[in-house]
Amino acid sequence: MMPADYTFSFGPWNIHEGADPFGPAIRPTLEFADKVKQFKGLGFDAIMLHDDDAVPDIDSKSAAQVEQEAGALKAMLEGEGLVTELAAPRLWEDPRGADGGFTANDPAVRQWAIDRSKRCADVCRALGTDILVLWLAREGTYIREAKDAVAAHGRLVEAVNAILEHDPDIRIAIEPKPNEPMDHAYLPTIGHALALASQTANPSRVGALIETAHSLLAGLDPSDDMAFALSFGKLWSVHLNDQNGLKYDQDKSFGAANLRVAFNQVKVLEEANFADTGAMVAFDVKAMRTQPAELATKHLSNSKAMFMHLLEKVRTWDRDVELQCREAGDYEALELAVMEHLMGVQ
Ligand code: 3MF
Ligand code: MG
């Protein structure tokens, strides 16, 4: 049987102006519609969206307006040959969400976050995807005394339950990240995310999205994190990228910092038949700030190219060597075989 094909996606935020915390935008802003036009040429068939990428100023619009605008966007995307992989409520950019949404101390803010997430579920439905991603950006603290942490976990479960109840078809994929923007996030790892999922009203509709850099920032191996979620049937998307050590979230091109770690991510996805589950492979990558505007999409095509190269490496990897080395307990030989395979040494 031929191995299944992967479907690749990225988000409009992955084509950006190069601003960082120490300097402003350095490349001109591309309109959303112009970004959308780039996807196919870069080799992508799907798009990820924030709720307000899909419906600008979403907070000021009625449910009917949100549905109508998201419906119009679906038609526009179809015209470009694109499907929507997922949508995510962008709670962290609103001033109300400065100290988090679902776990804010102010009940009015918590209610706003839940209402906004319900609108995001409506956006998902109108766009034809059943996956709503929760990257819980500010659901955590700068100082431990700022919030009641035990209550905060209960509030996260309540928020997830409210979204599940609002839309009986929606599936929620939690994207864990240990820190940044907060000092500590409440759901720092895949283990935390899936433990919380098990406490919700419908655990079968709560899973996860694993981002390479987020696992690395937690000091964990992304392929093992993926394997953990895969073993429970809970890996509903991945954000492949790379990260050079423990520092700010770099979102480097896939494979750029550590080829072997990247190889193992592709290997675990391929061996678990990830593409057959209907899930897609997304790249959450940033162009270097130094990149000129006309060359500021290469991080996307390069990431896909690296995935395809590594997929070839996975598919040509001699599994017998792996099994024999395991049998012999000779992991030194196994390690050399992996490295030589990656280097193309015959
Ligand atoms: C932050 C992220 C986010 C999420 C995105 C989708 C901006 O580290 O990875 O990217 O992936 O918001 O929920
Ligand atoms: Mg991400």
- Tens of pLDDT, residue by residue over 181-225, are 999 999 999 999 999 999 999 999 999 999 999 999 999 999 999
pLDDT tens-digit map of 237-247: 999 999 999 99
Same domain, 24 and 166: yes
Q: What is the pLDDT of residue 1?
A: 52
| Domain match, 84 and 164 both | yes
191 and 176 share a domain? yes
Per the structure, the count of domains in the chain is 2
Ligand closest to 48 (CA) is: 1
Do 131 and 58 reside in the same domain of the chain? yes
pLDDT band (50, 70, 90) for residue 326: very high
Does 2 fall in a domain? no
User: Within a domain: residue 3?
Assistant: no
Residue 345 and residue 235 share a domain: no
| Per-residue pLDDT tens digits for 95-108 | 999 999 999 999 99
Q: Which two tokens stand for residue 328?
A: 């012999």
Identify the band that residue 2 occupies on the pLDDT scale cut at 50, 70 and 90. Answer: low
- Note the pTM of the prediction, 2 decimals: 0.97
Specify whether 227 is located in the same domain as 323: no
Q: Is the pLDDT of residue 275 over 80?
A: yes
Average pLDDT, the chain: 97
Work out the percent of the chain whose per-residue pLDDT is above 90: 99
pLDDT tens for 81-93 read 999 999 999 999 9
One domain for residues 241 and 277: yes
For residues 265 and 234, what is the distance between their CA atoms, to the nearest angstrom?
Answer: 16
Tokens 């976050």 belong to 113
Closest Cα to atom 8, ligand 1: which residue? 249
Report which bound ligand comes closest to the CA of 11.
Answer: 1
Alpha-carbon dihedral angle through residues 222, 8, 89, 202, given to the nearest 10 degrees: -70
Mutation probe of ligand 1 site: the residue of 48, 239, 281, 285 with most atoms within 8 A of C-beta: 239
Q: What is the residue range of 338's domain?
A: 317-346
Atom 7 (ligand 1) nearest CA: 13
Catalytic residue among 53, 99, 242, 249: 53
Ligand 1 pocket test target in 135, 177, 242, 281 with most atoms within 8 Å of CB: 135
Q: What's the confidence (pLDDT) of residue 346? A: 74
Residues 96 and 211 in one domain: yes
Query: How much is the average pLDDT of 260-269?
Result: 98
Look up the CATH number of the domain holding residue 38. Answer: 3.20.20.150
Structure confidence at residue 228 (pLDDT): 98
| 331 and 221 within one domain | no
Q: Is there a single domain that holds both residue 276 and residue 324? A: no
Q: Which of 50, 153, 192, 214 is catalytic?
A: 50
Do residues 126 and 248 both lie within one domain?
yes
Within 13 A of 97's CA, how many CA atoms are on the CB side?
24
The answer to whether residues 81 and 143 belong to one domain is yes
- Let me know if residue 257 belongs to a domain: yes
Q: Is 50 a catalytic residue?
A: yes
Question: With a 6 A CB cut-off, is 177 part of the ligand 1 pocket?
Answer: yes
1 within a domain of the structure (yes/no): no
Q: How far is CA 283 from CA 9, 217, 254, in A?
A: 7, 17, 7
238 found inside a domain? yes
